[in-house]
């Protein structure tokens, strides 16, 4: 696997920039009181903690105040794309007639940006699929520039199927360097003791790793797309080259100063 390539992104970027958004993730989704959220909130209703400036009033204390779910949410930059590009900087408060359409567009844009994030990660890898990945990325990127009414009615399903197939081929190519490994795709590994396990190049797509002990595990080049890592212990684990691991997955897990992360991800502040 060669060095990672730096690639141009869509205008709004693929990393959340809350300063350029209208608090859409604090308005559009619904959530219920649970271990992740301290209160019930209906869909398309501003959270009680959302300020007039579209900033969270308890941002620095979300975990302590019972809003852990907010700390692991990632819009992949869809928020600022909708706010600044699709709606040209006019907020749902300043132009209330656009609110419902904006709220329709946001989840669609988030899916498109998630696809772009995966494709961008795949393009940084040394595989023979560069042309196909580039074409798919250009197709999805073009959709992000569509008018709001078109975006609101867009079915992202066909793009997901195309991209998923490409990512599977990318994964197989990269993981082949680690030999034939038993697949754990979609496996129920909740609470499993996997401390120090050799999981190099293992297919862990969609695996349930909630609360699993992965401390000191070797997860180099493991495919972790869609794996549920909530509460999983990654202390001392090696995630070098882990495929399609997102910041949200890392934020939902536990780790420490010895956990090795891919270079595009940030060590969460709540880790030891």
Mean pLDDT of the chain: 94
Q: Is the pLDDT of residue 258 over 70?
A: yes
Let me know: does 47 contact 24? Beta carbons within 8 Å: no
Torsion of CA 3, 9, 15, 16, to 10 degrees: 180
Cβ(230)–Cβ(251) below 8 Å? no
CA-to-CA dists, residue 91 to 103, 158, 262, angstroms: 11, 30, 35
pLDDT for the residue 34: 93
**CA pair distance 227, 186, nearest whole angstrom:** 8
The pLDDT > 70 percentage for the chain reads 96
The answer to whether residue 149 scores a pLDDT higher than 60 is: yes
pLDDT at 10: 58
* Burial (CB count within 10 angstroms: exposed 0-12, middle 13-18, buried 19+), residue 131: exposed
Q: What is the per-residue pLDDT for 11?
A: 55
For residue 193, the tally of other CB atoms under 10 A from its CB is: 12
Distance of CA 209 to the CA centre of its chain: 17
Who's near 39: CB < 8 A, 6+ residues apart?
33, 48
Cα 142 to Cα 70: distance, rounded to the nearest angstrom: 29
Euclidean distance between CA atoms 214 and 238, whole angstroms: 10
pLDDT of residue 202: 98
pLDDT for residue 41 is more than 60: yes
């Amino acid at each position: 696997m060669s060095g990672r390539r730096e690639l141009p992104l869509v205008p709004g970027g693929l990393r959340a920039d809350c300063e350029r958004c209208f608090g859409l993730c604090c308005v559009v989704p619904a959530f219920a009181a649970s271990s992740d959220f301290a209160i019930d909130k209906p869909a398309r209703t501003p959270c009680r903690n959302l300020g007039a400036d579209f900033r969270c009033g308890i941002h620095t204390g979300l975990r302590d105040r019972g809003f852990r779910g907010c700390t692991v949410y990632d819009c992949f930059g869809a928020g600022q794309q909708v706010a600044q590009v699709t709606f040209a900087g006019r907020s749902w408060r300043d132009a209330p007639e656009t609110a419902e359409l904006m709220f329709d567009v946001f989840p669609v844009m988030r899916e498109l940006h998630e696809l772009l994030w995966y494709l961008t990660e795949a393009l940084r890898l040394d595989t023979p699929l560069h042309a196909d990945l580039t074409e798919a990325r250009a197709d999805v990127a073009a959709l992000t520039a569509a008018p709001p009414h078109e975006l609101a009615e867009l079915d992202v399903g066909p793009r997901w199927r195309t991209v998923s197939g490409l990512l599977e081929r990318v994964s197989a190519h990269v993981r082949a360097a680690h030999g034939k490994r038993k697949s754990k795709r979609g496996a129920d590994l909740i609470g499993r003791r996997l401390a120090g396990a050799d999981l190099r190049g293992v297919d862990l797509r969609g695996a349930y790793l909630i609360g699993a002990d992965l401390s000191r595990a070797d997860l180099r080049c493991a495919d972790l797309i869609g794996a549920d890592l909530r509460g999983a212990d990654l202390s001392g684990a090696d995630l070098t080259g882990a495929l399609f691991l997102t910041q949200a997955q890392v934020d939902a897990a536990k780790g420490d100063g010895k956990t090795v992360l891919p270079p595009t991800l940030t060590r969460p502040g709540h880790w030891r």
